[in-house]
C-alpha cells in the first residue's frame, strides 16, 4: 500500500472578506477568489469540483494546494482559491461553522473566511 499522506499543516487565518459583490451589489459580481473547488461563482467558466464529504478547513486547503490563498463560505458549501483577496472589503459575517467540523468557522453568507495556504505537498 502507498505510504500515508503527510499531515496538513494548520492554515494561517487572514480575515473575513465579502465575496461576489456583497453587500452592495447583491452577489452578482465575480468571485473574489477565482478558482472554484466547491460552490459557484457568477461569470465563472467551468464547473466546480465538488465533494460528498462535508467541508473542513483542511479539506479546502488540500483542494487549493498550489494557490497562495483559500476561502471557505457559507459553512463550507464554497471552497475557493487564488493569489489575492479582498476586492469587496472586510466583513464581520464569518460566523457559520464548517459542516465537516463544527469547531471551525467556514465563512458566512456572501463572505469568505480567508486563509493563507500552507504548502501541503512535499
User: The C-alpha cell of 116 is what?
Assistant: 493563507
User: What's the pTM?
Assistant: 0.83
C-alpha to C-alpha distance for 13 and 83, rounded to whole angstroms? 15
98-120 pLDDT per residue, tens = 999 999 999 999 999 999 986 65
What integer best gives the mean pLDDT of the chain?
83
pLDDT of residue 27: 74
Q: Pairing mode, if any, of strands 97-98 and 78-82?
A: unpaired
Strand 69-73 relative to strand 78-82: parallel, antiparallel, unpaired? antiparallel
- What cell does 117 get? 495556504
- Eight-state DSSP code of residue 88: T
pLDDT of 30 reads 87
Listed in sequence order, the residues at least 6 apart from 2 whose beta carbon sits closer than 8 Å to its beta carbon are none
pLDDT, one tens digit per residue, over 25-76 is 777 788 899 999 988 877 665 545 555 678 999 999 999 988 999 999 999 9
Q: Is the pLDDT of residue 85 over 50?
A: yes
Nearest-angstrom CA–CA distance, 36 and 63: 10
Amino acid at each position: 500500500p502507498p505510504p500515508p499522506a503527510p499531515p496538513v499543516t494548520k492554515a494561517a487565518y487572514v480575515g473575513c472578506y465579502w465575496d461576489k459583490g456583497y453587500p452592495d451589489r447583491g452577489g452578482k459580481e465575480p468571485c473574489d477568489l477565482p478558482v472554484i473547488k466547491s460552490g459557484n461563482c457568477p461569470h465563472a467558466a467551468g464547473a466546480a469540483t465538488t465533494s460528498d464529504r462535508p467541508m473542513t478547513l483542511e479539506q479546502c486547503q488540500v483542494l487549493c494546494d498550489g494557490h497562495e490563498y483559500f476561502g471557505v463560505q457559507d459553512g463550507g458549501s464554497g471552497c475557493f482559491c487564488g493569489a489575492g483577496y479582498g476586492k469587496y472589503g472586510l466583513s464581520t459575517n464569518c460566523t457559520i461553522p464548517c459542516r465537516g467540523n463544527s469547531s471551525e468557522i467556514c465563512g458566512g453568507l456572501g463572505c469568505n473566511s480567508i486563509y493563507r495556504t500552507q504548502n501541503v505537498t512535499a
